[in-house]
A and B are shown apart, each in its own frame.
Chain A
Amino acid sequence: MEGFLIGLAAVAFGSLFWPVIAKRNSVWAGWCSAMVPLGIFLWLLTQGGAIGAGSFPKWSVEWVPQLGVTLGFRLDGVGLLLSLLVTGIGSLILIYGGGYLKGSPQAPPFFAFVHLFMLAMLGIASSDNLLLLFVFWELTSLASYLLIGLSHQESAARKAALRALLVTSAGGLALLAGILLLGAEAGTYSLVALQNSGDLIRNSSLYLAIFILVVLGAFSKSAQAPLHFWLPDAMAAPTPVSAYLHSATMVKAGVFLLAKFLPILGGTEIWHDVLTTTGAVTMLLGGLLALAQVDLKRLLAYSTMSALGTLVMLLGLGTELAIKAAMVFLVVHALYKAPLFMIAGVVDKAVGTRNITLLQGLGRPMPMLAFAAALAAFSMSGLPPFVGFIGKELLYEAQLNATSYAVFITVLGFAANAINVTVALKVGISPFRRRGTIPEINPKARKPALLTGPLLLALAGALFGLFPNLLGHGVIDMAVRDIVQRPIESHLKLWHGLNLLLVLSGVTVVVGVLLYLFQNRIRAGMHLLLERVPTASKTFDAGVQGMVSVAASVTRFFQHGNLRLYIAVVIVSLSAIITASLVSTGWSGPPQGGPMRLVPLGISLLTVFSGIAAIRSRSTVMAVLAMGGVGYGVALLFALFGAPDLALTQVLVETLTLVLFSLVMRALPPIESQTRSSGRRRITDFLIALAGGLAITATLLAVRGAPIPEAQRISTEMAARSLPEANGKNIVNVILVDFRAFDTMGEICVLAIAAIGVAGLLLGSGRRNLKAELVIATPLFRTAVSWLTPLLLFLSVFILFRGHNEPGGGFIGGLVAGSGLLLRRMGNADHPFHAPRTPLLFIGTGIAVAVLSTLPSIFLSEVFMKGVWVGALWLPLVGITKFGTPFLFDIGVYLVVIGVCLLILTRLIRSETPKSLSFP
């Protein structure tokens, strides 16, 4: 098995390597790259004996053992058959594709994707683990999408590629669900193990679900009606792709899957009925639709669909004879359909059209191609001594011996076969017959690379016809044995004697020729019919359109773009949820609290007045001032309730915010009356706001009904350890720089990002008018600033140093220093105090210092950012202070906050519409 895996690796590598070669010379790339699959093909042949003797090559390694995913490979007879097709036809396609796409920009991507596809197909053929199989299964869908869309400049190709992807990957999803159910039911994802526990699955209550899901996956891939429509559209792909994926290999993956699942899910009534019916319908529908086509490739595509229907029907019948017929027909079909596709491509290249009503007389100028075409067409028509004849005899035999509806099935099969003869005549014979002048041949179509594939495959069809047991005693027997799970012995014979089968074959050919002779009338009739019937393709497109428009209207409903409506919805739903949960939990008593104090009460009242003023104000200035009033009121409350750090921070931030607002307001219009809402709107809004406010108030009252006792606070432990372990008396600061320092680290980073974001937003406006800065250039201001700034800076350092024991710390110190530097800047814009990068330098240094302060804790203590203390120092004004990493961290915070203040405010000072505030 290692040889096979090396081959897989070579193919995978090839998808990266050969495109490079193909860019220089795609013909060479074709010939050389064909050697890899050829090598795998030969290796596979050497394994035939071992597989025939029942020792299957296998290899496995755990991948995701928790999910039961194993990289498990195992080649049985069916896998061998598919692998032989994939590699054998694959190498010929590589040669053909190299020649076909010579000089085309599509050649490198073709080589990349086709190798990817080959890898995926070989993976499907050899996977033993179902989840692994699914991965490869999806990879084929993806590769097919990329290959169909090779001509991505054309919208038709893109559309066809997307359609194929949607259908096959939807089927893939169904398959995945089926596989998961199967795994859940049987406790294993191994195909071998599952094939041995078929009875368990068939008797399971989940059988029906598993069956439907798996069959959906297979049907979508193998283009069974009504999921067939993507296949003819996929003909938008370059011909080498159509020949490989959409006739010989990928579409067979579904059939392969059904064959693999036959021992697991097969043998039931529903298996028989669903597969037989769908297969028969697809077989007939494909044939009938083929009659309406004039394009060589579409003609072949519909006949492929018909062939896939035949295969599915045979697997549905499930008898040993039917399986044998299916396996033989699988090979037969690949051996004639791939060359016919390739020939269609050459014909297209030679005369520039694929329209069968225009094509004629190509036999004289291209005799070898005509020879190959004739061989393939005869095989397709089921004429002796070609392998197609054997296939058709077996087909009829299996249909006649079907356990039920034998006559009905045989009649349908007869119709499909007769149409097959017609298609063969149209594609393989008609273009080469001379009915008029001999056409001009494009010399590009005369290349050995273009002829090798069709000729070899067509000759193989003849060879296997003459010596059927080359095929029968080898790979067919093994494949059938591994599907029906018992040893079999088959004899493929060309000559069965004069019996009913031979008569049927003869009549088929006669009817086919008749259909060919009357093709124009039949085609006209089919066209008339098709115009009246809704096709699957149109239905699918309408479905996709409908889905998109439903999605669009849902999006328009929810994403209406009206911010106020969004906010209103958020507030109302928030209140509703809060109210609901309050009602369900019940009332836990009136809020408990401390005694009423007069000063806070007064400040609360003042804050309320500020709030009312903010709401009622008609001018921006008034609103902003009222907002400041609220902010200072809250700061006072902080101070009164024992939070001096908060009060200091709040006052500083409130001041800076006011400065910010006043800077920005210069660029904004006043709140104008024209943006005022109607009175009714205002009342509605007020009611919504009131609902939100009341809901929150009620929640807080309810929660305060059962407050956390002091002993159960998280911070009790922190307060107890603050002095002995963290050497700090200001517990708030200790929490910030020591106990919860990692949080603070995150916060200063957020702050830095916000500031850099502001600077980025202002970048465009700042650079244009460096000189147009807001300057308060009164002499008094300048004099005051020249004293004030150093004083504030000194104060900030003092605050920083005392912060660990008294109210203060990095945040507050940073804000003070920032304000000082800002004042300096406003008073002295002609000679900038700092270069434009200075704020970023502050921020960067601050974060670097903060990170640096974490290093000792990494090496010296097991807890990240646990304080490491080095010693104590007496400082003027501050007293004895202990130094350690938390203090270093606080310095980092200090620097970041300074940088943030400078960055935001100095960038805002620069305005592109300066209104000078200077008083000369």
Chain B
Amino acid sequence: METIIILLTGFLFTCGFYLLLRRNITRLLVGILFISQAANLVILVLPGLGSGVSPIIQEGQTAPPPGYPDPLPQALILTAIVIGFGVIAFALVLLKNAYRDLGTDDLDSLKNTDV
């Protein structure tokens, strides 16, 4: 199963890289999102996917059920998702302002540092 997810991750990275190389800024942003999804999947898949049980201790037990997935990467991914949201929001607004001020969304015509 891990192999499938790894292949999916690689595919998402490929899509993300391809979108990063587009001239349109919106696609650049979509590419960034693809890469952040793929990065989260990397963290999830590396320690092993488990059999589908959650790392939650059941009622009356003191330890999580056997075969539970590693909870630490999950905690990392959780914060990564939320911070990714903040970053994307920032990038989107930057994009909007750039288009408003420069009148173009073509990356090839954005070559100067100053307006």
A residues engaging B (CB < 8 A)?
A: 560-564, 567-568, 571, 591-597, 600-601, 604, 607-608, 611-612, 614-615, 620, 623-624, 626-627, 630-631, 634, 637-638, 640-646, 649-650, 653, 656-657, 660-661, 664-665, 667-669, 671-672, 674-677, 685-686, 688-690, 692-694, 696-697, 700-701, 703-704, 707-708, 713-715, 718-720, 722-724, 729-732, 735-736, 740, 743-744, 747, 750-751, 754-755, 757-758, 761-762, 765, 805-807, 811, 815, 897, 900, 904, 908, 912
Contacts and interface: CB of A to CB of B under 8 A. Distances in A.
B115 interface: no
12 contacts: A561-B111, A600-B5, A637-B5, A643-B54, A645-B74, A653-B82, A671-B24, A675-B105, A693-B14, A697-B6, A755-B89, A811-B82
* Most chain B CB within a 10 A radius of its CB, from A594, A731, A754, A805: A731
A714 B41 CA distance: 19
Contact of A700 (B26, B45, B53): B45
Contacts of A601: 1, 4
B7 to A, nearest CB: 6
B93 interface: yes
B71 A600 contact: no
B83 to A, nearest CB: 6
B11 to A, nearest CB: 6
A904 B89 contact: yes
B98 to A, nearest CB: 10
Given A701-B6, A732-B55, 12 more contacts: A564-B22, A594-B50, A643-B74, A646-B77, A649-B81, A669-B105, A672-B24, A685-B22, A693-B13, A731-B64, A735-B75, A805-B56
Contact of B85 (A604, A627, A657, A806): A657
Contacts, number: 306
B11 A693 contact: yes
Interface in B3-38: 3-24, 26-28, 30, 33-34, 37-38
Interface of B: 1-24, 26-28, 30, 33-34, 37-38, 40-42, 44-58, 62-64, 68-72, 74-75, 77-79, 81-90, 92-97, 99-100, 105-108, 110-113
A591 B15 contact: no
A696 B5 CA distance: 13
A614 B88 CA distance: 17
B18 A667 contact: no
Nearest to A671: B24
A608 B28 CA distance: 19
Contacts of B55: 642, 715, 719, 730-732
Nearest to B68: A642
Given A722-B57, A750-B83, A634 B89 contact: no
B13 A732 contact: no
Contacts of A568: 21
A661 B18 CA distance: 20
B21 A688 contact: yes
A692 B51 CA distance: 30
Contact of B81 (A650, A674, A743): A650
Nearest to A676: B23
Contacts of A564: 20-23, 107-108
B5 A604 contact: yes
Contacts of B77: 638, 643, 646
Nearest to B52: A642
B81 to A, nearest CB: 5
Contacts of A723: 57, 62-63
B78 A811 contact: yes
Contacts of A592: 2
Contacts of B89: 660, 754-755, 758, 904, 908
What 10 A-B pairs have minimum CB-CB distances, sorted nearest first? A693-B14, A697-B10, A593-B2, A754-B86, A689-B17, A689-B18, A729-B57, A561-B111, A715-B72, A731-B71
A713 B79 CA distance: 20
A675 B10 contact: no
Contact of A668 (B84, B87, B95): B95
Given A594-B48, A643-B77, A713-B70, A747 B82 contact: yes
A668 B103 CA distance: 9
Q: Is the interface of A mostly helix, strand, loop or mixed?
A: helix
Contacts of A600: 1, 4-5
B54 A761 contact: no
A724 B62 contact: yes
B96 A657 contact: no
A596 B5 CA distance: 11
B87 to A, nearest CB: 6
Contacts of B97: 761-762, 765
Nearest to A913: B100
Nearest to A740: B75
A239 B89 CA distance: 61
Contacts of A701: 3, 6
A217 to B, nearest CB: 39
B4 A660 contact: no
A641 B44 contact: yes
A667 B96 contact: yes
Contacts of A608: 8, 11
B49 A571 contact: no
Nearest to A809: B78
B78 A708 contact: no
B30 A596 contact: no
B19 A614 contact: yes
A758 B44 CA distance: 29
Contacts of A623: 26-27, 30
A621 to B, nearest CB: 10
B49 A593 contact: yes
A591 B3 contact: yes
A642 B50 contact: yes
A637 B41 contact: yes
A675 B24 contact: yes
B9 A697 contact: yes
A700 B41 CA distance: 11
Contact of A807 (B7, B45, B50, B56): B56
Contacts of A697: 6-7, 9-10, 13
Contacts of B62: 723-724
Contacts of A604: 4-5, 8
Nearest to B57: A729
Contacts of B93: 664, 758, 761-762, 908
Given A562-B111, A623-B30, A897 B82 contact: yes
A620 B30 CA distance: 10
A627 B37 CA distance: 10
Contacts of B54: 642-644, 807
Contacts of A596: 1, 4
A199 to B, nearest CB: 59
Given A596-B4, A707-B48, A754-B90, A700 B9 contact: yes
B17 A708 contact: no
A713 B72 contact: yes
A747 to B, nearest CB: 5
Contact of B12 (A611, A661, A665): A611
* Most chain B CB within a 10 A radius of its CB, from A608, A657, A668, A720: A668
B115 to A, nearest CB: 13
Contacts of A747: 79, 82-83
A751 B110 contact: no
* Most chain B CB within a 10 A radius of its CB, from A614, A724, A730, A736: A614
B17 A571 contact: yes
A159 to B, nearest CB: 27
Contact of B47 (A661, A708, A743, A765): A708
A696 B21 contact: no
Nearest to A736: B75
A879 to B, nearest CB: 10
Contacts of A638: 44, 77
A806 B46 CA distance: 25
Contact of B30 (A627, A736, A751, A758): A627
Contacts of A811: 78-79, 82
